[in-house]
Structure 1
Amino acid sequence: MGRLFLVRHGESEWNILSKIQGQSNTNLTDLGREQARKVAERLCKEKIDIIFSSDLSRAFDTAKIIGDKLGLEVNTFEELREIKFGVWEGLTTQEILDKYSKEHTIWMTEPHNLKLPEAESLIDLQERLLKIVNILLKNNKDKNILIVSHGASIKALILGILGIDISYYNKLTIGNTSLSIIEFRDYSPVLRVLNDTSHLKEE
């Protein structure tokens, strides 16, 4: 029985500025690197066979810290990137509220219906993620796979694998360096762990 381990990147510079990142390339903060070290320690308790990551710096650097701890190389795929947010990328939450209040309301209440210039929809994102992840699962059958990616991507992927409609997207939350685990049992994929951040808590 293979397992899929999903980890969101550590805190980034734009996370603390409340800026929309999307596919913009932003770096980890010192705290983000520390979070990555802590989730790496947590993953030492699992038998991870292979690591895949988004090629964006905040995800790759998180994956590299984990890989160095586990003695594994990181394989990057552009398809594991965050959702492309188009005209929202680089804007703060307040700027979006000021300039795109109607669209922001749609994103908060029915995000699957949001359409932004130069952006992906949630369905586009989910199809992109499922396509590459299904290939990775097929090529690494019964292995324990770690994917380091992004908040929206991980939520869309979990819903897709479990066969839950994308309209439930805003019912999930995925924190920085949170761990989610899906088991591929004979009869069905099963969500075993969701958004576990216990490794970040102080002893």
Structure 2
Amino acid sequence: MTDHHAHLLLVRHAEAERYSAACPDPGLTARGRGQSQLLADWLGKNAPDILLSSTLRRAADTARAVAERTGLPVGWDARLREVGTCRPDGQPLEGAGSGGVGLPPRERPLESVFPGAESWVHFRVRVSLAMNSVLAATAAAGGRAAVVCHGGVLDALLDNIVDADACSPVEVAWANTAVTHLEHRPRETGSPWILHSHNARPHLKDQDLDAWTEASR
């Protein structure tokens, strides 16, 4: 972990088409494209220092809309992909999404989500490693990052922060293009994390993320 404070604006991707065996990596719906444009407009007024994204299409398309509006390049990281789309060693699994069956990943934490894929336990390690890199990149860039990823990634991050038992996860709601503002303070004697806002949609409603806006000044 870095020694510098970092503000992370964590964004779940915009609404996507349903995946299937024929389309294991779907893009955005028309509504999702509209959501991504509204998100991009809002971030254009509260621009971060760095923009990072999962490489899956639904996140990548959301991030590209933000990049076009803010002028920021996208830093791609396959470790920010959804659960089950990587092998246990963290490398992307081609075609993941076409064979998953059974209970949700968090309810079978030691089982692979898709054939040859990681388990939820492996996934939490992958997310932890990805977030270490995110924090380092954020500190190097100026201290404020927008990170476009997936509901599973955000679940795993919060599980890691609160040290949730693998069989007793924290249930949290994540709306499409909702933003969650976490601050990381590595030198604090208490928890290094502060949750400023969760699942907010300032771009979809007449809301404001006061702490993020203040940190962006």
* Range of TM-score over shorter length: 0.7 to 0.9
Alignment match, 2:135: 137
Aligned residue for 1:120, secondary structure, equals coil
Alignment match, 1:62: 62
Deviation at 1:121, TM superposition (A): 1.6
Alignment match, 2:97: 89
Deviation at 1:84, TM superposition (A): 1.2
In structure 2, what residue type is equivalent to 1:49?
Answer: D
Alignment match, 2:89: none
What are the within-5 Å matches in structure 2 for residues 1-203 of structure 1? 1-14=5-18, 19=19, 24-84=24-84, 89-90=97-98, 103-104=102-103, 107=104, 110-112=107-109, 114-116=111-113, 117-141=115-139, 143-169=143-169, 171-185=171-185, 186-187=187-188, 188-201=192-205
- Spell out, residue by residue over 1:3-48, the C-alpha distance to the aligned partner (whole angstroms, 9 max, x if none): 011111111111xxxx479x93111111111111112233234340
Structure 1: runs of 5+ lacking an equivalent: none
Aligned length in residues: 187
Report the TM-score when normalising by structure 1. 0.77
Structure 2: runs of 5+ lacking an equivalent: 86-92, 208-217
User: In the aligned structure 2, how far is the partner of 1:173 from the partner of 1:3?
Assistant: 21
Does the aligned pair in 2 maintain the 1:162–1:189 contact within 8 Å? no
**Quick check: which one's helix share is greater?**
1
User: In the aligned structure 2, how far is the partner of 1:199 from the partner of 1:137?
Assistant: 25
Q: Which moved more, 1:107-116 or 1:166-175?
A: 107-116
Does the aligned pair in 1 maintain the 2:106–2:166 contact within 8 Å? no
- Spell out, residue by residue over 1:124-152, the C-alpha distance to the aligned partner (whole angstroms, 9 max, x if none): 11111111220231243251111111111
Report the TM-score when normalising by structure 2. 0.73
In structure 1, what residue type is equivalent to 2:132?
Answer: N
Does the aligned pair in 1 maintain the 2:8–2:182 contact within 8 Å? yes
Q: Between the two proteins, what is the percent identity of the paired residues?
A: 29
The alignment's C-alpha RMSD in Å is: 3.0
**TM-aligned CA distance change 1:132 to 1:108, over 3 Å:** closer
Q: Which moved more, 1:156-165 or 1:79-88?
A: 79-88
Does the aligned pair in 2 maintain the 1:11–1:32 contact within 8 Å? yes
**TM-aligned CA distance change 1:111 to 1:42, over 3 Å:** farther
Deviation at 1:172, TM superposition (A): 0.9
Does the aligned pair in 2 maintain the 1:156–1:166 contact within 8 Å? no
User: In the aligned structure 1, how far is the partner of 2:67 from the partner of 2:96?
Assistant: 32
In structure 2, what residue type is equivalent to 1:134?
Answer: N
User: In the aligned structure 2, how far is the partner of 1:56 from the partner of 1:147?
Assistant: 13
Runs of 4+ in 1 over 4 A off after TM superposition: 85-88, 113-116
